[in-house]
Chains A and B, each alone.
Chain A
Amino acid sequence: DTGVSQNPRHKITKRGQNVTFRCDPISEHNRLYWYRQTLGQGPEFLTYFQNEAQLEKSRLLSDRFSAERPKGSFSTLEIQRTEQGDSAMYLCASSSGPTTAYGYTFGSGTRLTVV
């Protein structure tokens, strides 16, 4: 069990560029979550997958954001036409069951800076 892995750890991009982040959950975890944390705030839920199905999306997830989880393994989060307001830490978490009693493990995050 190597934990939840996120890549890259840091990303600096110019406004208007597209970026993609990757999350590898704990191998036996079928549920995967994305959160965003802006400076001085707590993490906020973005979206959730059960296996390959995206079952919940926050209204924070604008049309420029898309997440996928092909084959129910790793997940990617893409942001198109980045804006300065997208600068944040993007956190991924995974769990093995329907409640947090089954564990809820966060990765170390990808810190995005849009310049």
Chain B
Amino acid sequence: AQKVTQAQTEISVVEKEDVTLDCVYETRDTTYYLFWYKQPPSGELVFLIRRNSFDEQNEISGRYSWNFQKSTSSFNFTITASQVVDSAVYFCALSELIQGAQKLVFGQGTRLTINP
């Protein structure tokens, strides 16, 4: 079965430091999608990125960047020059084929605290 592992349960850094959140996955599907979501204290899931398994190009969006390495089944997320507003729980997720659709399999999340 598909599995997502986020080994870092909690990370705490000082503002302006760079921080990397790790994500390792297991899948039997040949085509799949990987996601990162942010969950602030209010509880809603904020979509950050979706990546197709055939596209291994790294992506940068402002202070956020993602490193997808199929060879090691990893999809890591880096925040550069972190800010207090980045404090949240971050989830990595993997799509899994079901009848006529795909469901998401989530990791356990990494709680990121940015201290001023």
Contact = CB atoms under 8 A, between A and B. Distances in A.
Contacts of A31: 100-101
Contact of B43 (A45, A99, A108): A108
Interface of A: 31, 33, 35, 40-45, 48, 50, 55-56, 89, 91, 93, 95, 98-101, 104-109, 111
Contacts of B91: 42-43
A44 B2 CA distance: 12
Interface residues of B, number: 26
Nearest to A111: B43
A35 B103 CA distance: 10
A72 to B, nearest CB: 13
Contacts of A104: 35, 47, 50, 102, 104
B98 A55 contact: yes
Contacts of A101: 33, 50, 52
Nearest to B96: A45
Contacts of B99: 48, 50, 55-56
A44 B106 contact: yes
Given A42-B108, A44-B106, A99 B98 contact: no
Interface in B16-62: 33, 35, 37, 42-45, 47, 50, 52
Given A100-B50, A100-B95, A48 B103 contact: yes
Contact of B104 (A43, A89, A111): A43
Given A31-B101, A48-B101, A48-B103, 8 more contacts: A41-B108, A42-B109, A43-B45, A56-B99, A56-B103, A105-B47, A108-B43, A108-B44
The 3 closest A-B pairs by CB, nearest first: A42-B106, A108-B44, A45-B103
A95 B103 CA distance: 10
Contacts of A48: 98-99, 101, 103
9 contacts: A42-B107, A43-B104, A50-B99, A55-B99, A98-B101, A99-B33, A104-B50, A104-B104, A109-B43
B105 interface: yes
